[in-house]
Amino acid sequence: MARRAVVLVGVLVAALVLFTGIPAAIDLVADWYWFSALGFQSVFLTALTTKVGLGLVVGVAAGAFVYANLRFAQRGIVPDPMVVDLRSGLPKVDVTRLLRHAALPVAVLFGLLMGAAASGAWLTLLRFRHRVPFEVVDPIFGRDISYYVFTVPALSVVIGLVVTVVVLTLAVTAALYLLRRDIVAHGRRVVIEPSAEWHLGGLIAALFLTTAATVFLVRLPSLLYSTTGPLLGASYADLAIQIPVLRLAGVIALVGAVFVLVGARRRRLVRHTVVAAAVYFVFGLMGALAGVAVQRLVVVPNELVKELPQLGHHITATRTAWGLDDVEVRDLSGESELTLDDIVANAATIRNVRLWDRDPLLQTFGQLQEIRTYYDFVSVDDDRYWIDGLYRQVLLSPRELNPASLPTRTFINERLTFTHGMGLTLSPVNQVTEQGLPVLFIKDLPPASSVSLDVTRPGIYYGELSGGYVFVNTQQEEFDFPSGEGNVFTSYEGIGGVKVGSWVRRLVLSVHFGSLKMLMSQDITGESRALYHRNVRRRAAKALPFLQWDSDPYIVITDEGQLKWILDAYTVTNRYPYSARMGQGANYMRNSVKVVIDAYDGDVQAYVADPDDPLIRTYASIFEGIFQPLDSMPQDLRAHIRYPEDLFRLQAALYTTYHMAEPRVFYHREDQWQTPAVARMESSGDPFLRHIIMKLPGEASEEFIIMTPFTPRGKDNLSAWMVARNDGEHYGALMVYRFPRQSLVFGPTQVVNRINQDTEISRQVSLWDQRGSEVIRGNLLVIPVEESLIFVQALYLRAEGGRIPELKRVIVAYENRVAMEETLEQGLARLFGGAVDAEARPAAGLEAAAVQAVLPESVTELARQAGEHYEAAMTAQRAGDWARYGQEMRRVGELLRRLGELTEGTRE
């Protein structure tokens, strides 16, 4: 009976292993096909062999330890065994004998569980083995930062596994001794058989030893992440109380181990164990109370004096860990007055002011360029290109296929026919048609370009929307794009994906996808290719699972007209001593890797963007041959890398406080900044953090940057603005331009208030609203020009029930002056006088950013325009179009007012 029960347990364990193991093995083989096709075998094999090796070592060791202890506890004859009568008529069951046979299955199951748990720590142990020093030491213990980032986590894993094994072994062994009646309670006294007492004493002593190891190797270093003080890091109370207390606690644990063994020898194990544990916990409690008392009674009344050194450590560590120690600070005079000549000299900046916000533009793209219901524009990205000899900022969005929108969702349609998106739409950031719609440089299907930028391979098999698997090179034709009343079909010509090949591979893929149709389909042949993991973010994360990813992949057109995705990857840790934590607890982050994914083939290339980062150097040592130097990236791709928004947003948020490097100033928050607080209207995300092409103060030419402004905390005026540079040798450089404290520079809130108070703007917006249209206010743009700022806001109009926003007006503000015109150039001309031609071609012999000279407006030209608008107003009146009549007459009034100003200036 006992043997049958043991066999049943063994069968159940084996069935559990098979039930979970076979699907896992199938998925593992499918992953191997995928990694092999990608050329990332080293990632797969390194992870697999480390997991298996670690699981085997820990599992065998843990299982052997448990089995040895159980067998040792079952030695000898049990004089008074525990017997259970299950049912009348059946023989009684000797529980101790049953447990003797169950020792091996229990040990095997325990080993499997411990091996599975240990395999999850594969990357932690690999990082420890291949660790690279930071060459920066912590200010308390004087150890290299790599000790806290790589060594302490590995020690924590090892000690945690040992503690788990010892605790569970102790529990199982003690229970076994109870069942064998080797532990008997007589009233308030517990009697333990001598050999059992020695055995249990050894396990308890081992538990005390692991506790001491935890104190010395894990808890002490972890004080450098303490939050007892005003900021993250070891505080005065930690240094004065907790460090000595923890060291003494570790010694107490060591003494406790010896004390327990002495108790086992003297037949007083229970008493000695209780005393040792009580002393350890009481001492720990007293230490914690002492720390709280010192913090409240000594530190809080004198916090600045006591915490001043620790504040210095925290500021230095945070600035270093977040890359803020290299920020270049430049002071602006704050005395310059913008003139028309300044606007002309910065025409490249004016030409690239982004009038189209992403959200309205995405809606417009969707209505004008989706072409069919199964195409979607997922996001709009900023980028820059040399177009027809000019350095232009553009907005582009790939046209991806959405299988959920297919009119008929069958296996053939979803997996064989509709396999890819098609091309993209590209628009300049500041050009508008007469109807208020964006000018499209690249549009339609197949993509047609009106500029010196072509898309020659428009198929998008891998994108932000692509999720499910598809098959190419099948007997079914692939839909390429609609043409008139018919459709154009194509065949995949790339090398991406996994070749179906043999029936074995076909069976594996069928089980992996959970699709019997794939196995039975006659359209799928041995030459067909399976494309899976097609979402670019999930694809990159699958190929490089040890990195974290920026939330905004962006697509690039190469010189050959191919489409490639660029993704920013981060190396992150939360183990940098004294550094402030952000986001998901990270307190160190570097944009160390740029990943390029081919939208057609799915090829993945990883380039090291920060070779000085110890974390990426460690990963490069672990996964050899995966990473390439950034210099090897093709130039047509490297020209489009950009500083990642997620990292810049975190750095800017930190810099609002950590630009104060002096601890006393930092403590009092004397000069704390904040990002401007203005309602975000219809837009999502940060309205002030944006990319722009501009000429930075003191620089010779324009460049592509990302910037954000700062205001003093609790105030509306601007105090500084921060940029990250993206082009050429300046890539990654962070700069801050500060305004003098004594000067008043209007901030976004103040400018918005001035706009709202402008009677002309308010009247026009009210008129539109009364007609049933919806007025959408764009983000307020902060545009640095020389050492001053201009503010630009676009107004969009969406008809009632409509879905296409049209750009109708542009508001321009400078200092206390506000103008609203149909174009940015007209608004600038109204503010600064003259005519601004931001689209002018460069003169011969000048670089592409140059512009033509700007000529003053002529009285004749203004009169001619006024006459044209008056005639248009009369035409609208005769047609009964009173809305158009009102618009034209207001325009006549504006032109006549400007004509009067010029005439008055001429008389003077």
Cβ pair 399, 375 in contact under 8 A: yes
Report pLDDT for 847. Answer: 33
Euclidean distance between CA atoms 816 and 755, whole angstroms: 10
Note the pLDDT of residue 850.
32
CA–CA separation, 807 and 799 (whole Å): 12
The mean per-residue pLDDT over the stretch 786-798 comes to 91
**Stretch among 321-335, 642-656, 842-856 having the lowest mean pLDDT:** 842-856
Task: Please check the confidence at residue 122 and state whether its pLDDT lies above 90.
Answer: yes
Helices (H), 771-881: 824-832, 859-879
pLDDT score at 682: 47
User: 848 pLDDT band (50/70/90 cuts)?
Assistant: very low
- What confidence category does residue 139 fall into, taking pLDDT thresholds of 50, 70 and 90? very high
Q: In this model, does residue 841 exceed pLDDT 50?
A: no
Provide the token pair at 412: 């053939």
Residue 846, pLDDT score:
29
The answer, yes or no, to whether residue 170 has pLDDT greater than 90, is yes
Residue 854 pLDDT: 34
Whether 7 has a pLDDT exceeding 60, the answer reads no
Average pLDDT over residues 623-630: 95
Q: Mean pLDDT lowest for which of 16-25, 287-296, 603-612?
A: 16-25
- Give 478's contacts (C-beta < 8 A, 6+ positions apart): 416, 417, 418, 419, 420, 472, 489, 490, 491, 492
Residue 81 pLDDT level (bands cut at 50, 70, 90): low
Q: Which of 142-156, 184-198, 695-709, 731-745 has the lowest mean pLDDT?
A: 184-198
pLDDT at 849 over 60: no
> Has residue 538 got a pLDDT over 70?
yes
Judged against a pLDDT cut of 90, whether residue 261 lies above it is answered with yes
Q: Could you tell me the pLDDT band of residue 13, with boundaries at 50, 70 and 90?
A: low
Contact 801, 817 (CB under 8 A): no
The position carrying tokens 């930075």 is: 696
Residue that wins the pLDDT comparison between 894 and 432: 432
pTM above 0.75, yes or no: yes
- The whole-angstrom separation of Cα 48 and Cα 25 is 12
pLDDT of residue 59: 95
Residue 489 burial (CB count, 10 A): 12
Q: Which residues are within 8 A (CB) of 487 and not within 5 positions of it... i.e. 6 or more apart?
A: 479, 480, 481
**Mean pLDDT, rounded, of the chain:** 87
Q: Is the dihedral of CA 122, 123, 126, 128 positive or negative?
A: negative
- How long, in residues, is the chain? 908
Residue 102, pLDDT score: 79
Four-point Cα dihedral 689, 690, 691, 697, nearest 10: -60
The most confident of the ranges 402-406, 541-545, 584-588 is 541-545
Q: Are 666 and 674 in contact (CB under 8 A)?
A: no
Residues 342 and 786: beta-carbon distance below 8 Å = yes
690-747: per-residue pLDDT in tens? 899 999 988 888 999 999 999 999 888 899 999 999 999 999 999 999 998 888 888 8
Residue 845: pLDDT above 90? no
* Confidence bin at 843 (pLDDT 50/70/90): very low
Q: Which of 151-155, 265-269, 302-306, 467-471 has the highest mean pLDDT?
A: 151-155
pLDDT score at 237: 94
Tell me which of 349 and 606 has the higher pLDDT.
606
* Residue-level pLDDT at 693: 93
pLDDT recorded at residue 769: 78
Percent of the chain whose pLDDT exceeds 90: 63
Q: What pLDDT was estimated at residue 230?
A: 82
Q: What is the mean pLDDT of residues 556-584?
A: 95
For residues 397 and 365, is the Cβ–Cβ distance under 8 A? yes
Structural contact between residues 353 and 824, judged by C-beta atoms closer than 8 angstroms: yes
- Report which of residues 467 and 279 the model is more confident about: 279
Question: If you average pLDDT over residues 151-177, what whole number do you get?
Answer: 94
Specify the 3-state DSSP secondary structure of 620: helix
- Look at residues 866, 745, 880 and name the one whose alpha carbon lies nearest to residue 814: 745
Start-end of H helices in 643-799? 645-658, 663-668, 748-757, 759-770
Contact status, residue 543 vs residue 604, Cβ threshold 8 Å: yes
Query: Which amino acid does the sequence have at 664?
Result: R
Residue 15 has pLDDT above 70, yes or no: no
Maximum CA extent, the chain: 126
**Amino acid 742: pLDDT:** 81
Q: Is residue 467 scored above 80 in pLDDT?
A: no
Query: Residue 87: what pLDDT?
Result: 60
Fill in the amino acid letter for 758.
D
What is the structure's pLDDT at 907? 42
User: How many other C-beta atoms are found inside a 10 Å radius of the C-beta of residue 709?
Assistant: 22
Residue 347 pLDDT > 60: yes
Provide the token pair at 762: 């308010």
pLDDT digits (tens, 9 = 90+) for 862-873: 677 777 777 777
Which amino acid, residue 681? M
pLDDT band of 840, cuts 50, 70, 90: very low
* Percentage of the chain modeled with pLDDT above 70: 88
Report the Cα 769 to chain-centroid distance in Å. Answer: 40
Q: Indicate the DSSP class of residue 729.
A: G
Mean pLDDT along residues 110-122: 93
C-alpha gyration radius of the chain: 36
